[in-house]
Amino acid sequence: MASFKIGRLSEDIKRELSLLIRELKDPRISKMLSIIRCEVSGDLSHCKVNVSALEGEAATKESIKGLNSASGFLRRELGNRLHLRKCPELHFIADGSIAYSAKINNILKELDTEDENSAD
């Protein structure tokens, strides 16, 4: 039964953090930052937030510095918006999945154009 609550809370945190990040005015935080995944621990005290920036890995790491400095504000706002008695501590982790998927997409496009050229 608790796994349903943890899963629901993870999705709620992901949704609210996506909205809150847009409100932050820190110049280190990328405008094209995406939250990939949120994992809340079983005791609801920690939350791993995987983030990725479209600009690349350097922008993601710089954004994490800004997010870590704003983690107190983000935590307070999450607690207020989700009506949590105890809001989990946020741990931001760089995730290169967006860049990796873009790379795979480019490879597939190249293969598709090669197939079209060889068919002609």
Helices assigned H by DSSP within 24-51? none
pLDDT tens track for 59-110? 899 999 999 999 999 999 999 999 999 999 999 999 877 778 888 999 999 9
Distance CA 3, CA 85 (A): 18
How many CB atoms neighbour CB 12 within 10 A? 16
DSSP state for residue 87 in the 8-state scheme: P
Question: What global pTM score does this model have?
Answer: 0.80
Distance CA 10, CA 110 (A): 37
